[in-house]
Structure 1
Amino acid sequence: MKPKSMHLIEKATLIHFHRHRQERFATGSAGALGWKHVNSQQKRFEVLASIGNLDDCEILDPGCGYGDLLTFLDARFKGVTYRGIDLLPEFVKTAAKSFACRANTCFMIGDFSRMELPKTDYVLASGAFGYKTEDKHYSFRTIDRLFKTARKGIGFNMLDKNKFPDHPLLTGHDKNVVVDFCQTLSSATKVVEDYLEDDFTVFVHKKNRTKAFYR
């Protein structure tokens, strides 16, 4: 059985959202990706990159957008092998053109919640779980898939539902529920907060899996 993904209508809404923002903001900008401003995106990257020493590591970036995380990593680490995945062809096309001369770099069009994922050292996902979906287990199933493809661990950020205002497309998550789930994957789970008003980051390092969380 194929893994579940976002409903087709939900995907279409997501794509429309970003295409509308591309018309409103400049291509390649933080605004086109849905961020309030560049500083919030950079702050999220700073926290994600603290997962460990990323020198000479393979990184998978689901929901990569224009590949901004790669620019951030290259300024701080050496020898990074990078793979980015995004649902929007426009994002992938722009990113591939921007990094065409960079070695050990690959951008792919696809739905990372159901496509075959390459093995990697770390998965770093920024903003990948911010969209509404009717499947209440979507985030858990996807986090599980990302964790399985990582050799060392995963890091991802989410909007905090207790602080993020209601939005027609974007959604917050219950931090405690998310952490409880991640602890079923590994006891080496850590949450980071207080770097932005409505955001939190979770790190899950490889260790023995404990128990099943969902059916």
Structure 2
Amino acid sequence: MRPEEKAENCARYAERLARFGHDPRSLGWDKRQHRLRYAALLDYWPRERLSVLDVGCGFGDLAGFCAAGGRDIAYTGIDLSPELIATGSAAAPDRDLRVWDWDVEGAPGRFDLILASGLFHHRLEDSEGFIHRMLLRFRAAAAMGFAVNFMSTTAERRYPHLHYADPAAMLAQGLSLSRRVLLRHDYMPFEFTLIVDLRQEFAAASSAFAGFEALVDLPPSEE
């Protein structure tokens, strides 16, 4: 993301925040589907306590969604916008929210799970290059895996300021990073979520990833 694009991004959110305050509309979620998006990002992962990095976190509302659903996480949220981080921190002072530029400061640590909701929705001069670089960074900084969402090229109506990703192309990118990948295009007609699980060990006897071995009928032992 170019410096001018970062500045435009921050200015856009500051203007919305001045109009709407701590509200999903300040983040561009006019239809208030943010909780549906959070569920699509999270439902795949185990409910054990995980360290989670939320990239482009806005107000950090994903942490509140997890708490309301009884999901215990160690949450860190990062965003380019000082105004969004300040508003989120005022609402939840104990929440770990940081103004952070990954391009400049690098990864803020290593986490079990990295999530990004809406990070890739706005069109950039080189959206595809930005997505590719960020997915590589997520893989390097995540112990368990990561999940990200996109506007889909299946959308019948498109807006010039948004980036629409090809689901097949994004599935191919996911498979270049791990053999264990899920693409969810089942919860909205015009958006999808890519889930990349970096836990690639599997049982040789069943050729199944962990958690699926019990569903394989192994032949009886010859001993």
For residues 114 and 121 of structure 1, the distance between their equivalents in structure 2, rounded to whole angstroms, comes to: 22
The partner residue of 2:29 within 15, 20, 35 is 35
TM-score (norm 1): 0.86
Task: Tell me the residue number matched to 1:126.
Answer: 117
Unaligned stretches of 5+ residues in structure 2: 201-223
> Contact 2:54/2:114 (CA < 8 Å) preserved in 1?
yes
The partner residue of 2:10 within 6, 12, 15 is 15
TM-score (norm 2): 0.83
Task: Tell me the residue number matched to 1:60.
Answer: 53
Q: Which has the higher contact order (CA 8 A, sep 6+)?
A: 1
Deviation at 1:54, TM superposition (A): 3.4
For residues 106 and 7 of structure 1, the distance between their equivalents in structure 2, rounded to whole angstroms, comes to: 26
Q: 1:70/1:148 Cα in 2 relative to 1: closer, same or farther (>3 Å)? A: same
Question: 1:182-201, aligned counterparts within 5 Å?
Answer: 182-201=174-193
Answering whether residue 69 of structure 2 is matched by residue 79 of structure 1, we say no
Task: Tell me the residue number matched to 2:210.
Answer: none
Task: Tell me the residue number matched to 2:86.
Answer: 93
For residues 25 and 173 of structure 2, the distance between their equivalents in structure 1, rounded to whole angstroms, comes to: 31
For residues 2 and 121 of structure 2, the distance between their equivalents in structure 1, rounded to whole angstroms, comes to: 15
Could you report, residue by residue, the CA deviation over 1:124-174 in whole angstroms, capped at 9, with x for unpaired residues?
Answer: 111111121122311011011012111001011110023063334321111
Q: 1:178/1:78 Cα in 2 relative to 1: closer, same or farther (>3 Å)? A: closer
For residues 52 and 109 of structure 1, the distance between their equivalents in structure 2, rounded to whole angstroms, comes to: 26
Work out the number of aligned pairs and report it.
Answer: 198
Q: 1:190/1:95 Cα in 2 relative to 1: closer, same or farther (>3 Å)? A: same
1:14 alignment partner AA: N
Q: Which secondary structure does the structure 2 equivalent of 1:137 belong to?
A: helix
Could you report, residue by residue, the CA deviation over 1:188-209 in whole angstroms, capped at 9, with x for unpaired residues?
Answer: 011011211211001000146x
Q: Which secondary structure does the structure 1 equivalent of 2:165 belong to?
A: coil
For residues 26 and 152 of structure 2, the distance between their equivalents in structure 1, rounded to whole angstroms, comes to: 22
Could you report, residue by residue, the CA deviation over 1:77-131 in whole angstroms, capped at 9, with x for unpaired residues?
Answer: 343100000010011111122221x4xx411112235532210000111111112
> Contact 2:114/2:146 (CA < 8 Å) preserved in 1?
yes
Answering whether residue 54 of structure 2 is matched by residue 49 of structure 1, we say no
Q: 1:99/1:23 Cα in 2 relative to 1: closer, same or farther (>3 Å)? A: closer
Could you report, residue by residue, the CA deviation over 1:7-51 in whole angstroms, capped at 9, with x for unpaired residues?
Answer: 1121122222222222332x110000001222x111101111112
For residues 162 and 16 of structure 2, the distance between their equivalents in structure 1, rounded to whole angstroms, comes to: 14
2:12 alignment partner AA: F
Question: 1:133-152, aligned counterparts within 5 Å?
Answer: 133-135=124-126, 136-152=128-144
Q: 1:114/1:141 Cα in 2 relative to 1: closer, same or farther (>3 Å)? A: farther
Q: Identical aligned pairs, as a percentage? A: 27
Computing the radius of gyration from Cα coordinates, the structure with the larger value is 2
**What is the RMSD computed on CA atoms of the aligned residues?**
1.7
Unaligned stretches of 5+ residues in structure 1: 1-5, 209-215
1:80 alignment partner AA: I
